[in-house]
Amino acid sequence: MKVFKVTMEKLRLSSDPKRTALLVFYIALPVLPLLALFYQNSNSGLFEGLISKNKVLEGRKPQFGTATVLHGKARNFTGAKDVSFANTSNIPIDHKKLLDGLLAPGYDEGSCLSRYRSYLYRKGSTHKPSSYLISKLRKYEDLHRKCGPHTRHYNRTIGKLIKQNHMNVTTSCNYIVWIATNGLGNRILSMASAFLYAMLTNRVLLVKFQNDMLGLFCEPFLNSSWESPKKFPSMNDHHKNFETYESLLKNDKESNTSRKSWPSILQLDLQHHSSDENGQFFHCDHSQALLGKVPALILSTDQYFVPSLFMVPSFKKVLNKMFPEKDTVFHHLGHYLFHPSNDAWGLITRFYQAYMDKADERIGVQIRVFHPELTTFQIMMKEILECTLQNKVLPELDTQKSVASSWKNRTSKSVLVTSLFPEYAESLRAMYWTTPTVTGDVIGVYQPSHEGKQKFSDNIHNMKAWAEIYLLSLCDVLVTSSESTFGYAAQSLGGLKPWILYKNLGNENPPLCQRAFSMEPCFHFPTTCDCDGKTKLDVASVFPHMRHCEDYDTGVKLVDNHD
Ligand SMILES: *[C@@H]1O[C@H](CO)[C@@H](O)[C@H](O)[C@H]1NC(C)=O
Ligand SMILES: *[C@@H]1O[C@H](CO)[C@@H](O)[C@H](O)[C@H]1NC(C)=O
Ligand SMILES: *[C@@H]1O[C@H](CO)[C@@H](O)[C@H](O)[C@H]1NC(C)=O
Ligand SMILES: *[C@@H]1O[C@H](CO)[C@@H](O)[C@H](O)[C@H]1NC(C)=O
Ligand SMILES: *[C@@H]1O[C@H](CO)[C@@H](O)[C@H](O)[C@H]1NC(C)=O
Ligand SMILES: *[C@@H]1O[C@H](CO)[C@@H](O)[C@H](O)[C@H]1NC(C)=O
Ligand SMILES: *[C@@H]1O[C@H](CO)[C@@H](O)[C@H](O)[C@H]1NC(C)=O
Give the number of the ligand closest to the Cα of residue 224. 4
* DSSP code, position 417: E
The values of phi and psi at residue 462, to 5°, are -70, -35
Which atom number of ligand 6 is nearest to the Cα of residue 262? 1
- Dist CA 264 CA 387 (whole Å): 53
Which atom number of ligand 4 is nearest to the Cα of residue 141? 13
- Dist CA 165 CA 274 (whole Å): 25
Contact 254 CB / ligand 5 (< 6 Å): yes
Mutate to test the pocket of ligand 1, among 73, 76, 77 (most ligand atoms within 8 A of CB): 76
Contact 256 CB / ligand 5 (< 6 Å): yes
* Contact (CB, 8 A) for 450 and 480: no
- Say how many Å lie between the CA of residue 272 and the centre of ligand 6: 34
- Say how many Å lie between the CA of residue 409 and the centre of ligand 7: 6
- Dist CA 114 CA 339 (whole Å): 6
Selection from 169, 175, 170, 177 nearest residue 144 by Cα: 175
Considering the chain, tell me which residue range(s) the CATH 3.40.50.11350 domain(s) occupy: 342-525
- Which residue has a Cα nearest atom 12 of ligand 3? 152
Selection from 151, 153, 216, 149 nearest residue 177 by Cα: 149
Mutate to test the pocket of ligand 5, among 250, 251, 256 (most ligand atoms within 8 A of CB): 256
Instruction: Write down the pLDDT at residue 205.
Output: 98
- Dist CA 242 CA 142 (whole Å): 29
Which residues does a 6 A CB cutoff place in the pocket of ligand 3?
A: 150-152, 155
- Say how many Å lie between the CA of residue 253 and the centre of ligand 5: 8
- Dist CA 391 CA 164 (whole Å): 61
What's the sign of the alpha-carbon dihedral 207, 211, 217, 223? positive
The interaxial angle of helices 377-390 and 423-434, nearest 10 deg, is 50
Which atom number of ligand 4 is nearest to the Cα of residue 223? 1
- Dist CA 88 CA 92 (whole Å): 9
- Dist CA 231 CA 209 (whole Å): 13
- For residue 78, the Cα-to-chain-centroid distance in whole angstroms is 32
Question: Helix (H, G, I), strand (E, B), or coil: what is residue 40?
Answer: helix
- Dist CA 229 CA 529 (whole Å): 37
Residue 561: partners with Cβ closer than 8 Å, 6 or more residues away: 326, 544, 545
- Which residue has a Cα nearest atom 7 of ligand 1? 78
- Say how many Å lie between the CA of residue 104 and the centre of ligand 3: 26
Q: Is 81 exposed, middle or buried (0-12, 13-18, 19+ CB in 10 A)?
A: exposed
Selection from 43, 26, 459, 551 nearest residue 210 by Cα: 459
- Dist CA 562 CA 152 (whole Å): 47
- Say how many Å lie between the CA of residue 84 and the centre of ligand 2: 15
- Say how many Å lie between the CA of residue 408 and the centre of ligand 7: 9
Residue 248: partners with Cβ closer than 8 Å, 6 or more residues away: 263, 266, 290, 291, 294
Which atom number of ligand 3 is nearest to the Cα of residue 151? 13
- Dist CA 238 CA 242 (whole Å): 10
Mutate to test the pocket of ligand 2, among 85, 88, 90 (most ligand atoms within 8 A of CB): 90
Contact 247 CB / ligand 6 (< 6 Å): no
The tens digit of pLDDT for each residue in 141-191 reads: 999 999 999 999 999 998 888 775 567 788 899 999 999 888 899 999 999
CA distances for 445 relative to 42, 255, 356, 399, 476, angstroms: 26, 63, 10, 19, 15
Architecture (CATH level 2) of domain 342-525: 3-Layer(aba) Sandwich (3.40)
* Contact (CB, 8 A) for 477 and 364: yes
**Mind giving me the DSSP string for 86-125?**
S--TTS---TTTTTTTTSPS---STT-TTTTTGGGTSPPP
Contact 76 CB / ligand 1 (< 6 Å): yes
Which atom number of ligand 1 is nearest to the Cα of residue 77? 1
Q: Which residue positions in the chain have pLDDT lower than 50?
A: 1-91, 450-457, 563
- Say how many Å lie between the CA of residue 527 and the centre of ligand 5: 25
Q: How many helices (H) and strands (E) does the chain have?
A: 18, 13
Which residues does a 6 A CB cutoff place in the pocket of ligand 4?
A: 106, 222-223
- Dist CA 322 CA 196 (whole Å): 10
